[in-house]
A and B are shown apart, each in its own frame.
Chain A
Amino acid sequence: MDLIVCIKRVPQTAEAEVKIDSSGKDIVRDRLTFDMNEADSYALEAAILLKEKFGGTITALSLGTADAEDTLRIALAKGADSAIRIRAEEFVELDGFKTAALLKEVIKDIKFDAIFTGCMATDDSYYQVGPVLAELLRVGHATLVSKVEVADGKAQVNRELEGGLIEHLEMSLPAVFAVQTGINEPRYASLIAIRRAAGKEIRVVGKEDISLELKSNSTLEELFLPPVGKRAEILSGSTDEISAKAATIIKEKGLI
């Protein structure tokens, strides 16, 4: 199977202190660490597992600035065969639609059986790239994918819904799968694979290769941290005392 995995390098903001920069439209990035978007690492692993089973190739694709190549090299070390970077610095206002459209411009020249993306990126949480990409390529897609198996040219796909429900779909290929986190165990790259991947060439494409004129569907106006509420109260005492106090407060507020 020939597979494509779309990968984004994102700041690790889960436990970091996030501050807004002077433009009011971005966060201060210089003290943050960057890594492969979490859901994308599960997407990559899902693709590698399929390649291990059926053979074929994996192309890793990223719309990012030069340091996204570090992330693409890790993808190469883990099991991708080739990597392409689209120069993000040459494009502006990259909303979900425009990102997907740029990815499509590169993908349209590649033969593929399936495309894997993360279901969301942790930096902008748009949840759009997978579905929009599929629409632009005129292939089917599934979001929140928790399992993909392939047999007889069809994909058996599980989707994770609210309330613990699992939706099982049979899908024709090619298709786009936007995968959920936690669906497999993303491998670490071995040192030998890192050494081999370090020297591999990454194809870089930019404005000169992509003739598309696109308008973004949305414009980022402002990024802000909500004001900190002053209603928090920390209860102290033994577990029993804390439970009793909590129960009283909940009753007082009419919540039960």
Chain B
Amino acid sequence: MNFDLTNDQKMLQEEVRKFAQTELAPLAPEIDKSGEFPWSNIKKMAHMGLLGVIVPEQYGGSGFDFVSLAIAVEEISRACASTGVIVAVNNSLAAYPILQFGSEDQKMRYLPPLCNGEKIGAFGLTEPDAGSDVAAMESTARLEGDCYVLNGTKRFITNAGEAGTFVVFAYTNKELKHKGISAFIVERDTPGFSLGKHEDLMGIRATANCELIFEDVKIPKENLLSKEGEGFKICMNTLDVSRIDIGAQAVGIAQAALDEAIKYSKERKAFGQPICNFEMIQSMIAEMASKIQAARLLVHYAGYCKDKGMQRFSKESAMSKYYASDIAVDVARKAVQIHGGYGYSRDYAVERLYRDAKILELYEGTSEVQKIVIARELTR
């Protein structure tokens, strides 16, 4: 049993924290207001190797493991939740499925631009009428000669408005139900592919969350990921990995809320003394800190399971995502409570953090879906 980070993980944590607090944190309130995609910071992160943390060096990445990615996503999200999920999606929802299921040609072609910031990645799974129920998707791809012809609409796609490379899911054979879903790599400039509504979200407002519209989009056959009918497996395997990073994002947001709450409680005076002296405030701070540490350990453990090569870690991944999301919302709510009326003002970071936290319980599988995954694994 060893809770120590390795030398390179410690260095990564220290350097990413410094980078995030210096370069990302000052921009967080601004891009929350404007909704502007933080390209300048994304380029800096590409330079550091943060866009391809888990991608091996031969494909342009940094060659770190999944615990390291979680550490990086936590530190980035602690400074800016929007930037945190942009990085998480690029790494684990776009680069990872290509790395895990792509052919050598696909890896050589699509991974370097995703790592060097030339292109940002997105993951086209959710549809207007198909969220938790993946198999209810309506998008189709039918083979015509050398191309698949893709039709359908995807909704709530993080990074979509600015992305260049998309991993998209569609039915190649609807009769086979979920075994008829296939995954494709789709490039932004393919004719017939357009962007729909830009979502005006409550939190993580700088993530270019957009609708994708595919109208007779011809995708070359060689852009099929793995084989026909493998889409559902690819999607579930990818989500097992990406949920660890949403857990890490949750820990980062919660840690930021706790940092703010502690700082404020020491500065703010009531009844002649700092409010951190009051037991009800202390109780909240103690609960927040304990829950964050528990969530962080769950996240690191899920990453460790993946790094160790465990074939099934759906339960560990779902637990980390479910618990960390749950406590992040709770911790952010308490941080607002500790700030009193000021916490409800846009002048204070906790107001943003509370809004940012809520998405964690909804995307990449709602908390209810995580509980289904956990319970099924325990009762099968």
Interface residue ranges, A against B (CB under 8 Å): 17, 35, 70, 73-74, 77, 188-192, 194-195, 197-199
A-B contact pairs, 30 of them (CB 8 A): A35-B14, A35-B18, A70-B10, A70-B11, A73-B7, A77-B15, A188-B15, A188-B44, A188-B47, A188-B48, A189-B11, A189-B15, A189-B48, A190-B48, A190-B49, A191-B12, A191-B48, A191-B49, A191-B50, A191-B62, A192-B62, A194-B11, A194-B12, A194-B15, A195-B8, A195-B64, A198-B6, A198-B7, A199-B7, A199-B8
B57 proximal to A (CB < 8 A): yes
Cα of A198 to Cα of B53 in the assembled complex, Å: 16
User: Which residues from chain B contact A194 at a C-beta distance below 8 Å?
Assistant: 8, 11-12, 15
Known A35-B18, A188-B15, A190-B48; further 15 A-B contacts with Cβ < 8 A = A17-B266, A35-B14, A70-B11, A77-B15, A188-B18, A188-B47, A190-B62, A191-B48, A191-B62, A191-B64, A192-B62, A194-B15, A195-B8, A195-B62, A198-B11
Check A70/B14 contact, CB under 8 A, given A192-B62, A194-B8, A198-B8.
yes
* Nearest B-chain residue to A194, judged by Cβ: B11
Over the window 15-49 of chain B, the binary record of Cβ atoms lying under 8 Å from chain A Cβ atoms (1 yes, 0 no) is 10011000000000000000000000000100111
Q: Which of A73, A195, A197 has the most CB of B within 10 A?
A: A195
* Nearest B-chain residue to A12, judged by Cβ: B18
Cα of A192 to Cα of B53 in the assembled complex, Å: 9
* Nearest A-chain residue to B52, judged by Cβ: A191
Q: 5 closest A-B pairs (Cβ-Cβ)?
A: A198-B8, A191-B49, A191-B62, A198-B7, A194-B11
Total B residues in contact with A, Cβ cutoff 8 Å? 21
B196 proximal to A (CB < 8 A): no
* Nearest A-chain residue to B44, judged by Cβ: A188
Cα of A194 to Cα of B48 in the assembled complex, Å: 10
Asked if residues B14 and A74 are in contact (CB atoms below 8 Å), the reply is yes
User: How far in angstroms is the closest Cβ of chain A from B24?
Assistant: 12
User: Which residues from chain A contact B19 at a C-beta distance below 8 Å?
Assistant: 188
Cα of A188 to Cα of B17 in the assembled complex, Å: 11
Interface residue ranges, B against A (CB under 8 Å): 6-8, 10-12, 14-15, 18-19, 44, 47-50, 53, 57, 62-64, 266
Check A192/B11 contact, CB under 8 A, given A35-B18, A198-B6.
no
User: How far in angstroms is the closest Cβ of chain B from A14?
Assistant: 12
User: Which residues from chain A contact B48 at a C-beta distance below 8 Å?
Assistant: 188-191
User: Which residues from chain A contact B62 at a C-beta distance below 8 Å?
Assistant: 190-192, 195
Contact of A195 among B44, B50, B63 (CB under 8 A): B63
Cα of A73 to Cα of B18 in the assembled complex, Å: 15
The number of inter-chain residue pairs (CB within 8 angstroms) is 53
User: How far in angstroms is the closest Cβ of chain B from A121?
Assistant: 18
Q: Which of A74, A191, A192, A198 has the most CB of B within 10 A?
A: A191
Cα of A35 to Cα of B7 in the assembled complex, Å: 15
Cα of A125 to Cα of B8 in the assembled complex, Å: 31
User: How far in angstroms is the closest Cβ of chain A from B10?
Assistant: 7
Cα of A195 to Cα of B61 in the assembled complex, Å: 12
User: Which residues from chain B contact A188 at a C-beta distance below 8 Å?
Assistant: 15, 18-19, 44, 47-48
User: How far in angstroms is the closest Cβ of chain A from B152?
Assistant: 36
Cα of A180 to Cα of B257 in the assembled complex, Å: 35
Cα of A74 to Cα of B14 in the assembled complex, Å: 9
User: Which residues from chain A contact B7 at a C-beta distance below 8 Å?
Assistant: 73, 198-199
Cα of A191 to Cα of B64 in the assembled complex, Å: 8
User: How far in angstroms is the closest Cβ of chain B from A35?
Assistant: 7
User: Which residues from chain B contact A199 at a C-beta distance below 8 Å?
Assistant: 7-8
User: Which residues from chain A contact B15 at a C-beta distance below 8 Å?
Assistant: 74, 77, 188-189, 194
User: Which residues from chain A contact B6 at a C-beta distance below 8 Å?
Assistant: 198
Cα of A17 to Cα of B265 in the assembled complex, Å: 14
User: Which residues from chain B contact A35 at a C-beta distance below 8 Å?
Assistant: 14, 18
Cα of A191 to Cα of B9 in the assembled complex, Å: 10
User: Which residues from chain B contact A17 at a C-beta distance below 8 Å?
Assistant: 266
User: How far in angstroms is the closest Cβ of chain B from A8?
Assistant: 16
User: How far in angstroms is the closest Cβ of chain B from A172?
Assistant: 36
User: Which residues from chain A contact B63 at a C-beta distance below 8 Å?
Assistant: 191-192, 195
Check A192/B10 contact, CB under 8 A, given A35-B18, A74-B15.
no
Cα of A223 to Cα of B286 in the assembled complex, Å: 32
Cα of A77 to Cα of B14 in the assembled complex, Å: 12
Cα of A192 to Cα of B116 in the assembled complex, Å: 13
User: Which residues from chain B contact A77 at a C-beta distance below 8 Å?
Assistant: 11, 15
* Nearest A-chain residue to B17, judged by Cβ: A33
User: Which residues from chain A contact B14 at a C-beta distance below 8 Å?
Assistant: 35, 70, 74
Cα of A65 to Cα of B354 in the assembled complex, Å: 41
* Nearest B-chain residue to A198, judged by Cβ: B8
Cα of A198 to Cα of B64 in the assembled complex, Å: 12
* Nearest A-chain residue to B8, judged by Cβ: A198
User: How far in angstroms is the closest Cβ of chain A from B373?
Assistant: 31
Asked if residues B49 and A197 are in contact (CB atoms below 8 Å), the reply is no
* Nearest B-chain residue to A15, judged by Cβ: B263
User: Which residues from chain A contact B11 at a C-beta distance below 8 Å?
Assistant: 70, 73-74, 77, 189, 194, 197-198
